[in-house]
Amino acid sequence: MNTRRDFIQKVGISALGLYAFQGLGATVLSPLKHAAANGPVLRVALMGLGGYATRVAESMQQSKRAKITGLISGTPEKLKTWGEKYGVPEKSRYNYENFDALKNNPDIDAVYVITPNALHHDQVIRSARAGKHVICEKPMALNAKEGREMVDACKKTGKQLLVGYRMHFEPLTLEVHRMRTDGELGTIKFFQGLSGFRIGDPKQWRVNKALAGGGALMDIGIYALNGCRYMVGEEPAWVTAQETKTDPVKFREGVDETITFQLGFPSGVIASCLSSYNMNHLDRFFLNGEKGFAELQPASSYGPIKGRTHKGPLDIATDRPQQAVQMDEMAAIILDGKKPVIPVDGEEGLRDLVIIDAIYKAVKTGGKVQLA
């Protein structure tokens, strides 16, 4: 069995780079003691100890219902350092070859997969077969076929599959969602989603087709795509898309630099979205209705999210990192059966993958692709 490091070397990646994309800022949170739990605590093994896992781990020190009790990495030094920092004993530290042994560890309830996109499919399925619930970073897989296999495998083992849609628990996002649901914006007519930043190191895994499965759309673009679905409140019926590439050296065949895509919804709503690895300051959602509007800018950064509506500024204070809130909410979903306002399950991740497949098809064919 190959390790994650072996896989990366085979596809020519010299380094994974930071897992947190550059456009979201780089504030590092100081580890804090866990707040008092207000219910059963979800015991989590983090898989893939890169830049974004660092943010998740440090944020989890402010979680009330989630705790790090396991680590999975292909780098022994990281396992030792992280184990000592977060109090994870050696018996709960695994590599990519032996983590199936999780099935014998009663101190771990769930695995949080935070690795390059191409690795999600097998790692999620193996984790579920080891008897653990799974949280997987987005996009859930490389394509809808893989996503369906992951959903089916988790259902077969009776384990939950959740996707790391942290914005689904973000207060301003939820307020805009509530306003639309309660009819305060009137009949929705239009949505615009802009998601992008200028990517740096051309050797990082995000611009390697074998590891990322694409380019900007598979990373930053999923925010606009997923956002249009929960903001509009419908599933799209069709999609069109166009790709622009100005740097074919950095963005090789199969790695998109910039894609604009349009979605049509059954009610007649139109969404216009942009995903780019070559433009900064693209982090905006705009929802327009007959009675009013709502805007979030920034809409998907690590915070603070800012917003306004036709009624004025959205002023909702947040006192914890998004990832801390996400993990507490996911603990409630897994342990208490809580139903989130905006879904974060595997079926939600699969719907995004179906649309991503259609966007790439539309780019290739130049036509309108119908969605089932």
Q: How does DSSP assign 164-195, residue by residue? A: --GGGG-HHHHHHHHHHHTTTT-SEEEEEEEE
| Number of neighbours of residue 342 by Cβ within 10 angstroms | 17
Q: Check: CB of residue 56 under 8 Å from CB of residue 114.
A: yes
Q: How far apart are CA 135 and CA 117, in angstroms?
A: 13
pLDDT at residue 320 in the model:
95
Residue 330 lies in a domain: no
Residue 213 lies in a domain: yes
| 317 band by pLDDT with thresholds 50, 70 and 90 | confident
Residue 86 lies in a domain: yes
- Within this chain, do residues 28 and 53 fall inside the same structural domain, yes or no? yes
Over residues 339-361, the mean pLDDT reads 98
The model's pLDDT over 254-273, given as tens digits with 9 standing for 90+, comes to: 999 999 999 999 999 999 99
β-sheet bridge partners, residue 72: 47, 94
Return the active site residues: 138, 223
- Within this chain, do residues 148 and 204 fall inside the same structural domain, yes or no? no
| 212 band by pLDDT with thresholds 50, 70 and 90 | very high
pLDDT at residue 248 in the model:
96
Instruction: Dump the DSSP string for 6-48.
Output: HHHHHTT-S----SS-GGG--PPPPP-PPPPPSSPPEEEEEE-
Which of 129, 144, 166 is the last residue in one of the domains?
166
Residue 143 lies in a domain: yes
Q: Check: CB of residue 20 under 8 Å from CB of residue 26.
A: yes
Over residues 13-27, the mean pLDDT reads 34
Over residues 117-141, the mean pLDDT reads 98
pLDDT at residue 24 in the model:
36
Coarse DSSP helix, strand, coil percentages of the chain, rounded to the nearest 5 percent: 40, 20, 40
What range defines the domain where residue 232 resides? 171-317+346-370
| 35 band by pLDDT with thresholds 50, 70 and 90 | very low
pLDDT at 252 over 90: yes
- Within this chain, do residues 158 and 254 fall inside the same structural domain, yes or no? no
Give me 110's structure tokens: 């769930």
How many domains are there within the chain?
2
When the pLDDT of each residue in the chain is averaged and rounded to a whole number, the result is: 92
Over residues 327-335, the mean pLDDT reads 98
Q: Of 28 and 111, which is predicted with more confidence? A: 111
Residue 59's nearest CA partner among 335, 342, 328, 357 is 328
- Within this chain, do residues 260 and 302 fall inside the same structural domain, yes or no? yes
- Within this chain, do residues 160 and 132 fall inside the same structural domain, yes or no? yes
Give me 291's structure tokens: 């009675």
- Within this chain, do residues 154 and 53 fall inside the same structural domain, yes or no? yes
% of the chain surpassing 70 pLDDT: 90
The model's pLDDT over 72-83, given as tens digits with 9 standing for 90+, comes to: 999 999 999 999
pLDDT at 188 over 50: yes
pLDDT at 8 over 90: no
% of the chain surpassing 90 pLDDT: 88
Residue 324 lies in a domain: no
**What three-state secondary structure class fits 133?**
strand
| 21 band by pLDDT with thresholds 50, 70 and 90 | very low
- Within this chain, do residues 127 and 201 fall inside the same structural domain, yes or no? no
- Within this chain, do residues 27 and 141 fall inside the same structural domain, yes or no? yes
pTM for this structure? 0.91
Which residues have a Cβ under 8 Å from the Cβ of 6 and sit 6 or more positions away?
none
Q: How far apart are CA 293 and CA 302, in angstroms?
A: 23
- Within this chain, do residues 156 and 179 fall inside the same structural domain, yes or no? no
pLDDT at residue 277 in the model:
98
| 372 band by pLDDT with thresholds 50, 70 and 90 | confident
| 37 band by pLDDT with thresholds 50, 70 and 90 | low
- Within this chain, do residues 252 and 154 fall inside the same structural domain, yes or no? no
Residue 128's nearest CA partner among 286, 346, 298, 292 is 346
The model's pLDDT over 213-242, given as tens digits with 9 standing for 90+, comes to: 999 999 999 999 999 999 999 999 999 999
Residue 352 lies in a domain: yes
* CA 133 and chain centroid, separation: 17
pLDDT at residue 2 in the model:
42
Helices (H) and strands (E) in the chain, counts: 10, 15
pLDDT at 13 over 90: no
pLDDT at 7 over 70: no
Q: Check: CB of residue 227 under 8 Å from CB of residue 167.
A: yes
Q: Where are the alpha helices (DSSP H) in the chain?
A: 4-10, 51-59, 76-86, 117-129, 144-157, 171-181, 209-212, 221-232, 322-336, 346-365
The model's pLDDT over 271-303, given as tens digits with 9 standing for 90+, comes to: 999 999 999 999 999 999 999 999 999 999 998
The model's pLDDT over 301-314, given as tens digits with 9 standing for 90+, comes to: 998 999 999 999 99
| 15 band by pLDDT with thresholds 50, 70 and 90 | very low
Q: Which CATH number belongs to the domain containing residue 105 in this structure?
A: 3.40.50.720
Over residues 154-176, the mean pLDDT reads 98
Residue 322 lies in a domain: no
**What three-state secondary structure class fits 329?**
helix
- Within this chain, do residues 207 and 257 fall inside the same structural domain, yes or no? yes
Residue 332 lies in a domain: no
